[in-house]
Amino acid sequence: MIVKKLVTFALGTGAAIAAIAALSLPTTHQSVEAAVPIPGPRTNVIATEEAQVAVFAGGCFWGMEAVFQHVRGVRSVRSGYAGGSAETATYEQVGTGRTGHAEAVRIVYDPNIVTYGELLRIYFSVAHDPTQVDRQGPDVGSDYRSAIFPQNAAQRSVSRRYIALLNDSGRFSRPIATRLESGRFYDAEDYHQDFMNRNPRHPYILAHDVEKVEDLQATFPQMFTSTPAA
Query: Taking a C-beta distance cutoff of 8 angstroms, is the pair 210, 81 a contact?
Result: no
60 is catalytic: yes
Band the pLDDT of 14: cuts 50, 70, 90. Answer: very low
Render the burial of 165-177: b for 16+ CB within 10 Å, e for the rest.
bbeeeebbeeebb
What is the average per-residue pLDDT within 116-125? 97
pTM of the model: 0.84
- Model confidence at 41, in pLDDT bands (50, 70, 90)? confident
Q: Which of 2, 35, 60, 107 is catalytic?
A: 60
* pLDDT tens profile 70-110: 999 999 999 999 999 999 999 999 999 999 999 999 999 99
Q: What is the pLDDT of residues 198-210, one digit of tens each?
A: 999 999 999 999 9
Give the C-alpha separation, 83 to 91, whole Å: 14
Q: Report the mean per-residue pLDDT for the chain.
A: 86
Mean pLDDT of the region 147-172 = 95
- Sign of torsion over alpha carbons 196, 201, 207, 213: positive
* Domain residue extents for the chain: 3-223
Answer whether residue 13 shows pLDDT above 80: no
Could you confirm whether domain 3-223 is CATH 3.40.50.280?
no
